[in-house]
Amino acid sequence: MLHSPYLQANPSLHVFLPLFYTVWSDAILTPSEIATIEGLINSQGWLTKSEHDFLVSQLNPAAPPTADELMEWKDEIKNAAELTIGKTLVDIGIKLVELKGGNVPVEVLKAKPSLANIEATLGFISHEATFNFQSGGRSTVTHQQTTQKTFDVNAMTRLLDGKNAATIRKVKTIITDPEFQYVDPSNLDAYRERVLDWCRLLAGQGFGAMAYPKEYGGQGDMAAYFAIMETLSYHDLSMVIKFGVQFGLWGMSVYFLGTEKHHKKYLKDIGTLDLPGCFAMTETHHGSNVKGIETTATYQHATKTLVINTPHAFAKKDYIGNAAKHGQMATVFVKLIIDGKDYGVSAVVVPLRDKKGNTMPGITIEDCGRKMGLNGVDNGKIEFKNVIVPVENLLDRFAGITDDGKFTSPIASDNRRFFTMLGTLVGGRIGIPRSGLSAVKSGLTIAIKYSDQRKQFGPEGAPEVPILNYRTHQRRLMPLLANAYALHFSLQYLTDRFINRTEEEMQEIEALAAGLKAFATWNTTATLQECRESCGGKGYLSENRIDDLKNDTDIYTTFEGDNTVLMQLVAKSRLTEFKQEFARMDFFGILGYVAEQAATSISELNPITVRNTDEEHLLDPTFQLDAFKYRERDILTSAAKRLKRHISEGMDSFDAFNVAQHHLVQVGFAYIERMVLEKFIEQVNQTTDAGCKAILKKLCDLFALSQIDKNKGWYLEQGYMEGVKTKAIRKLMNQLCWDIRQEAVPLVDAFAIPDSCLAAPIVVGK
């Protein structure tokens, strides 16, 4: 076209060139576009018949311009665009006429309105269409968003580490030593041995015995032990679980369930890993229902011994960590039988192997083999056939046998004794979610840093944009970053409550531990999946570690109790407290409760509040916490009424709970969500560093609004909010994600995960 004699003879024809290029730029000219442009050409009375026919010939779909011709057109148009004051295709076309012919004829200027009308008719947005011809790139809001730092990262790290900062720093130093370099997990035997070696090195640093009393080689520091577990979880998670089985489950079961004679005999060797051991509770057909285990320990008074037996194949101790290769002893949970009477669940120390690794008589151990993850842990099945141990091996803090062969216990009630015994082991439900949270922090660090560097797409004529600048990417990752911070503070609160517990608080602490374990580990699974997807194919590569994090933590949702079962346990605890609360009330107390409920309805369910979309209102922690409390209270009350109705109508209580199971799970969620938000708000209020406080407030707001948005169907059903309010919440979430994105990299930097642990080439380089 450019070399046509018609353009040489009449430069005014160049006015059509930007329009022609634009409609041909996608290589397809549709019939409606042809008809529209032909109509424009036909309306130009200043064209000669031959010029008219020439221009129409340029609209032939059977003879489109070549790629070289289109490039030549674009170069000509770009030259004109750089000299054009206007921003439309018509303005550029007129500048082309001026460049080619000197003066712009009056008839061309008169044609400007009709040409501009064609732009609109064809659906062109002029400033968008002309971006194709601009040099030097485009300045967009999306491009302008970059990583910023408005808070002191080191101050945030100190806040997160708290009083255990020195311990955490020491652990990080140890796990970055060359001795802790990652190994290939494909060689199962070599991997298991390396994990054992790592645990020995950690024991040598005094980490394993940290929670044990000083007289048994420890420091009596349970808080430091949990901090060690959490920090180790930035490294290999098989090592973490092996460490937890040895020093936590095995060692702590001896410590909490045994008495001084057991402590003296075993604890020091457990803490140094001279005595590798197991925690043998779960059976093939009994996991969550510990009370239903079938392994027996029958007391023989004549010999003062216990005979341990597995009654059938489905009663084997199953999935027991440390059992397949390394365990020499185990805390075995059994039904204690004395004189033919079942005294319920007790725990016995049973030898499995000698020092040379030979299996003891009556013990059969099978290797569970490869798993989805955690293949550095040697899980096994254990079967007992007339295994005889001295009665002294009975861990007798809560259940013992007198010299004359009678059962004895400081707790008379079978149920209370059982739950007291298990309550002392609640630490596992603290260690697992804290470990899972470290995996989340690793995954988010990889995904967020990669997303800040990785560029993809962008407007025409401009550089590509970091994918973290895209709103959808922010909505994928920023709420999960807020979750991580929220869970950090709530798990720290749970840890402190557990360490400083009193007997009266134990039921509440057990429920809180069960619920947080479920909530946090479900969050781990969901977060790591999102991190994997947000890194695209790079996230699928094993070298970038998200696959290990995903696979190794997948079991966390059923470790230490199946999450769904745990949420029901939380609900039953809440219902018990609810019932006790009413039982303690006199007539006037009940009237007061009803009045309080009515007052809540008046203040929170009035037409103004349910439609209030003011940003100040939505970001008010009082509004946020009230919304969570209302949901918690309403779901709990309705669950109690539902169960009472079913039972009053003659339904068996077991069936009533079964019918209401989904409702009960929601009771658990509502309670835990409220607790997490409450502790996050408290942390924001307690933070003195202004920069840290400001960004924590944004994260707290995002956590709160994300949970409300997740449950918006419930709030709408209850009339607590109207659609205009939930829409405003969603809009504000988008803005918070946009704001937090700018500080997302410093926020994950505050986790201070060593590069050697992160070990993802897409973040730390090869």
Cα separation values, 460 from 29, 122, 132, 141, 465, Å? 20, 19, 6, 15, 12
Average pLDDT over residues 151-176: 97
Least confident of 144-148, 548-552, 645-649: 144-148
CATH code of domain 429-764: 1.20.140.10
Average pLDDT over residues 502-520: 92
| pLDDT number for residue 323 | 97
Least confident of 64-68, 394-398, 485-489, 493-497: 64-68
| pLDDT number for residue 27 | 66
565-582 b/e with 16+ CB inside 10 Å = b? Answer: bbbbbbbebbbeebeeee
CB 525: neighbour CB atoms within 10 A?
A: 18
Give the residue extent of every domain in the chain.
5-135, 177-425, 429-764
Amino acid at 242: K
Average pLDDT over residues 345-355: 96
Average pLDDT over residues 224-230: 97
**513, 460 Cβ separation under 8 angstroms:** no
- Compute the distance between CA of residue 45 and CA of residue 586 in angstroms, rounded to an integer: 97
Q: Which residue has the higher pLDDT, 420 or 384?
A: 384
User: Quick check: 336 pLDDT over 90?
Assistant: yes
Q: How far is CA 394 from the centre of its chain?
A: 40
CATH number of the domain at 177-425, out of 3.50.50.60, 3.40.50.2300, 1.10.3720.10, 2.40.110.10? 2.40.110.10
| pLDDT number for residue 766 | 46
Mean confidence (pLDDT) of the chain: 90
- Compute the distance between CA of residue 691 and CA of residue 461 in angstroms, rounded to an integer: 38
Average pLDDT over residues 13-20: 86
Q: What are phi and psi of 467, to 5 degrees?
A: -65, -20
Angle, vertex CA 741, rays to CA 738 and CA 742, nearest 5: 100
- Compute the distance between CA of residue 91 and CA of residue 82 in angstroms, rounded to an integer: 11
Q: What are the helix (H) ranges across 27-85?
A: 31-42, 49-57, 67-81
Q: What are phi and psi of 671, to 5 degrees?
A: -65, -50
Average pLDDT over residues 575-582: 70
Average pLDDT over residues 83-90: 75
| pLDDT number for residue 587 | 44
Average pLDDT over residues 376-384: 97
Q: DSSP labels for 228-291?
A: HHHHHTTS-HHHHHHHIIIIIIIHHHHHHHS-HHHIIIIIHHHHTTSS-EEEE--BTTBSS-GG
pLDDT band of residue 607 (cuts 50, 70, 90) is confident
| pLDDT number for residue 466 | 87
- The residues, ordered by sequence, that sit 6+ positions from 295 with a Cβ below 8 Å of its Cβ are 283, 308, 309, 310, 311, 315, 317, 332, 333, 334, 335, 384
- Compute the distance between CA of residue 314 and CA of residue 310 in angstroms, rounded to an integer: 9
User: Quick check: 580 pLDDT over 80?
Assistant: no
Torsion angle, alpha carbons of 251, 257, 262, 267, to 10: 20
Q: What is the pLDDT of residues 468-505, one digit of tens each?
A: 988 999 999 999 999 999 999 999 999 999 999 988 88
- Compute the distance between CA of residue 362 and CA of residue 332 in angstroms, rounded to an integer: 14
pLDDT band of residue 583 (cuts 50, 70, 90) is low
Least confident of 17-21, 172-176, 512-516, 538-542: 17-21
User: Quick check: 161 pLDDT over 80?
Assistant: yes
Q: Which residue has the higher pLDDT, 458 or 290?
A: 290
Q: What is the distance between the terminal CA atoms of the chain, rounded to a whole angstrom?
A: 52
| pLDDT number for residue 588 | 44
Q: What is the pLDDT of residues 100-140, one digit of tens each?
A: 887 888 887 887 888 777 777 766 655 555 566 666 555 66
Q: Which residue has the higher pLDDT, 171 or 581?
A: 171
pLDDT band of residue 757 (cuts 50, 70, 90) is very high
The alpha-carbon radius of gyration of the chain (Å, integer) is 35
pLDDT band of residue 599 (cuts 50, 70, 90) is low
- Compute the distance between CA of residue 104 and CA of residue 5 in angstroms, rounded to an integer: 19
Q: What is the pLDDT of residues 649-684, one digit of tens each?
A: 998 888 988 898 999 999 999 999 999 999 999 999
User: Quick check: 11 pLDDT over 70?
Assistant: yes
pTM: predicted TM-score of the whole model, two decimal places? 0.86
